[in-house]
Chain A
Amino acid sequence: MTTLHAARSTGSRSGRPPHGSPGGPAAWLRDLAMGARFAVTGGREGWFRTALSAIGVGIGVAVLLLACSAPTVLDAWHGREKARENLGQMHEPRASDRTVRYAQADTTFHGEPVRGRLVRPDGAHPPVPPGIAHLPGPGEMVVSPALRALLAAPDSAPLRARLDYKVVGTIGDSGLLGPQELTFVAWLDDRSAGEAYRISRFGKIFDPQPPSARLVLLTVLACVVLLMPVVVFIGTAVRFGGDRREARLAALRLVGADIPTTRRIAAGEAVVGAALGLAAGLLIFLAGRQAVGAVTLWGVNVFPADVVPSPGLAALVAVLVPAASVLVTLFAQRAVTAEPLGVVRNRPVRRRRLGWRLALPLTGLALLLSSAWAPQAPDGWFPVVRLALGAALLLLGVTALLPWLVEAVVARLRGGPVAWQLTVRRLQLDSGAAHRAVSGITVAVAGALALHMVFTTYQAGYAQAYEESASRPVIQLSGSTASWGQARDALTTLRRTSGVTWAHGTVRAPAGREGDRGTRDADGYRSVQTAMVTVGDCAELRRKARIGSCRDGDVFVAKDRGGRATDPAFVRPGVRLNLNPPEGYEETGPPRPWTVPDTARRVQTVRHPGEDLPGDVLATPGALPTGRLQAPTTELLVGYDKARESDAVERIRTVAFRVNPGLRELSAVDNPHDRQYDGLRTALFLGSVIVLLLIGAGLIVSTVEQLRERRRLLSVLDAFGTRRATMGWSLLWQTAIPVALGLALAVTAGLGLGAVLLTLSGAEVHLDGAVIAGVAGSAGGVVLLVTLLSLPPLWRMMRPDGLRTE
């Protein structure tokens, strides 16, 4: 009150009339300061409300800061990858003291990808990737801390057998993408010599591929879906304790504060809540950031230190959150006027209009559907903005539709017991507080369901693909080979492996037409028409074609195209082929002519599902020594039976790695996506539940405040014998009706949004009833929790104390 008097005196001294609003920046600051003081001097309950607002805003701010960190996280991630990698140079450097031969040796252990790199220096001063002091010597490797831990685990024996190198060091953080990354750098021995290429430095990688349409869709959607509830929730959180604030403002009006002054005081109070929220958000962000290292999403695991909000975006959050808090508070006061004798609700009695409320989601839907005509891979900002705006408008539309829906539905509710009647009538009179509290739930649930649906569908797609793959228990391996003999030896070793039922393989290489020099494109890449030459013994060739009788030294020519799109028509008995076709940027050296014998028989090829094409020329090793081929590769197919050996897959991988660490596994045996999507869905579900609980906390605060406002009425109701159960049920309905309507809207909007997005990305729509039931169950739980926690205050308010006037 002193402040108000002081403000008045200031006005008088400056020559203003003694009545009316004191003005000037000083008075404004005083009013704001008074509001700020109210935020922290309301006793235990005041602190509780302020703390709840701060926590609510803080969680929102923490999520916003995390989102603001996305650009820096991605930059850091790509920077780390670029610094340690070299995928090959267009012109391979000559061997020197400062070059190293380099190959990839990635493997998988129980579904976890392990990044492997093999190195063999050409001299004494080879380039060294970041995080490694010295390159490992023969038989040695350096490992990431996570791989070191995995190797030490009791059930990692197959991995220890596979990575049979002596661990001589640990890769430092600068050489890792994230703390959980499984990676090693080992000595390149002769087994993988064919895979290797020479490099003169690390830190060269082709620019990352533009993200796929699906990834863009998911990322944009995730941002919108995660941030929209945050925005709505911040709006809800700053209004916690609004009724009490209005009562306080009315008391201030009684002692002479005018309406602009009360608004400034309210703004001051809101700013403090928002400022505390910012501080809480920063703390939550810093604490939560430490957990980032333990999370792997889509194979991306990052260091907590890399999660730094982009300064510009963080500054925007720091400015916008308090500004939004003030705006929301002032906007909320639009519908009420704090008068000296109390708060007057000047909300018009007229019904809410549906038109503009429907326009929001429909515009969003139109924007999303218009994306269907956009190219699949969004290029430039416009499609992304359109997608984000569409999803945001659709979700915002849900909050706009909710008040109309609640009003329209409760207006039609009739009958029922007293508890029901009390609730329905209350909602019919004023449903504002109810739908405001629930709108946060609605957006959060709608967004979460849409994301769930997208994840479920993608997961189902992967699951189906892997299921098909798993129905044929075969591992396909591919890699360079020195000769057919080496491939044959690999097959022999694999066939002896426990759990392996069969193994087949051939050696393959391209061949051009003799004399064909092809053409160079603008980039200097020379392309020629090639045919595929397949070399294997008679048993292996029989799998590829109906060759009939066969002896070493025989050659066969495919009479069909084996499913190929191009027709190497030049392949026929008697034709001269060039086994060193001049393909690529570099000159490949002199031609290696080889004549397809005139005696070669034309045969019908056999194509096995999931396997490579049989080839155009099928030759036995006696007819075509593989040493003459250019960059021959081996394709190995290994059948296994888990009933015989449960760990057959890991055994095969270990044997394959030991044959040639550079062998790549092409088949999809493990489904890593299941775990990734399961993790995502769990995180999303937990996020939804946390948002629900927070909104539940807000509901409790507003319910208790409403009860306090009606304290006398409750005492009167108790006086004439109203059962506590009746009032308890009324309280339950009061929370349950808006939540149920909000959920119905959320489920409709969420599934609609999910279906539209999936249709846009060309995926088949899958519904996960358990998730819908889970979210609905959680919301039901929140309703029960709010009711249960509001009952003790209700019982207290129903005491006759409320009847006492003296």
Chain B
Amino acid sequence: MTPDGSILAGEGLHKTYGRTTALDGADFSVHPGEVVAVMGPSGSGKSTLLHCLAGIVRPDSGSVRYDGRELTTLPDAERSALRRTDFGFVFQFGQLVPELTCLENVALPLRLNGTKRKIAEATAREWLARLEADDIHGKRPGEISGGQGQRVAVARALAGRPRVLFADEPTGALDSLNGERVLTLLTDAARDTSAAVVLVTHEPRVAAYSDREITVRDGRVRESLAGL
């Protein structure tokens, strides 16, 4: 297990892109069912931290342990498999496959994981209903609003019942009303399924939905204040 009963923990993470240092010894941990807001100004390294924690990017040094396994040494195929089975993702925009319907988009991670189409789509339909988006299941992303799109993205991220949900500026492209509704739905659903949530944002009002806040500045993590 990871330290202190956390499900996911990163220690001493370093990552540079060319001459730019994105992470400079960052530490992070999240417990099951916990919502952690990762805050910081633009370019501080918060998205890189999320990518390293999710196994999308391999850090230059440091360790990422998930459920007792060291992610940084896992081969790409295993990290991909982990992302399919244990993690969920919500991004700011451009994440839905434009040619697939909303229902098919939500079912996609399940199908990638080998679930039969009918079962995957039935599950997807349930999640769309839960996220108040069941009326748009047959529409394509180009035919729905930004708020509806984010709900679909959240449904997709949660449909596979991930143990960790990574959300990178999930409401960045939404107005405040829609943003709040999406965040409420996201955090409620995550808590219902005991999923840990890593919520990257630079907006304090978004961070207010978290249990705990951390701030990333110059590639280092500083504990901020407790949330709700």
Contact = CB atoms under 8 A, between A and B. Distances in A.
Contact of B99 (A418, A428, A718): A428
A721 B84 contact: yes
24 contacts: A421-B104, A422-B99, A422-B100, A425-B99, A428-B99, A429-B99, A712-B93, A713-B96, A713-B98, A716-B89, A716-B91, A716-B94, A718-B56, A719-B54, A720-B87, A720-B89, A721-B81, A721-B82, A721-B84, A721-B113, A722-B84, A722-B112, A800-B51, A805-B92
B95 interface: yes
B99 A800 contact: no
A425 B56 contact: no
Looking at chain A's contact residues, the main secondary structure is helix
A430 B112 CA distance: 24
A806 B172 CA distance: 14
Interface string A782-806: 0000000000000000001001111
Interface residues of A, number: 26
Interface string B69-99: 0000000010011111101110111111111
Interface in A546-580: none
Q: How large is the interface on B (under 10, 10 to 19, 20 to 34, 35 or more residues)?
A: 35 or more
A718 B95 CA distance: 11
Contacts of B104: 421, 425
A726 B42 CA distance: 34
Nearest 4 CB-CB pairs, A to B? A721-B84, A721-B83, A425-B99, A712-B94
B47 A803 contact: yes
B109 A720 contact: yes
B97 A713 contact: yes
A352 interface: no
B43 A719 contact: no
B102 interface: no
Given A713-B94, A718-B56, A805-B169, 14 more contacts: A417-B111, A425-B104, A426-B99, A712-B94, A713-B96, A716-B91, A717-B97, A721-B85, A721-B87, A722-B80, A800-B51, A800-B57, A803-B47, A806-B47
A726 B112 contact: yes
B108 interface: yes
Nearest to A806: B43
Interface of A: 415, 417-418, 421-422, 425-426, 428-430, 712-713, 716-723, 726, 800, 803-806
B95 A713 contact: yes
A698 B111 CA distance: 33
Nearest to B140: A429
B117 interface: yes
A726 B101 CA distance: 19
B156 to A, nearest CB: 8
A417 B108 CA distance: 11
B111 A418 contact: yes
Greatest chain B CB density within 10 A among A418, A422, A718, A723 is at A418
B168 interface: yes
A708 to B, nearest CB: 13
A716 B100 CA distance: 15
Contacts of A422: 97, 99-100
Contacts of A800: 51, 56-57
B60 to A, nearest CB: 14
Contacts of A425: 97, 99-101, 104
A605 B82 CA distance: 97
Contact of B89 (A415, A713, A719, A804): A719
Contact of A720 (B51, B77, B88, B117): B88
Contacts of A723: 77, 80, 112
A739 B91 CA distance: 35
Contact of A806 (B42, B98, B100, B117): B42
A713 B153 CA distance: 12
A418 B113 CA distance: 10
A236 B80 CA distance: 38
B109 A721 contact: yes
Contacts of A430: 99
B20 to A, nearest CB: 10
B215 to A, nearest CB: 16
A719 B108 contact: no
A430 B142 CA distance: 13
A418 B94 contact: no
Contacts of A805: 47, 92, 169
Contact of A421 (B91, B95, B100): B100
B95 to A, nearest CB: 4
Contacts of A717: 97
A713 B98 CA distance: 9
A418 B56 CA distance: 21
A719 B91 CA distance: 10
A712 B99 CA distance: 15
Interface in B138-185: 140, 157, 168-169
B99 A720 contact: no
Nearest to A430: B99
Given A418-B108, A425-B100, A806-B42, A716 B117 contact: no
Nearest to A800: B56
Nearest to B162: A720
Nearest to B120: A418
A721 B80 contact: yes
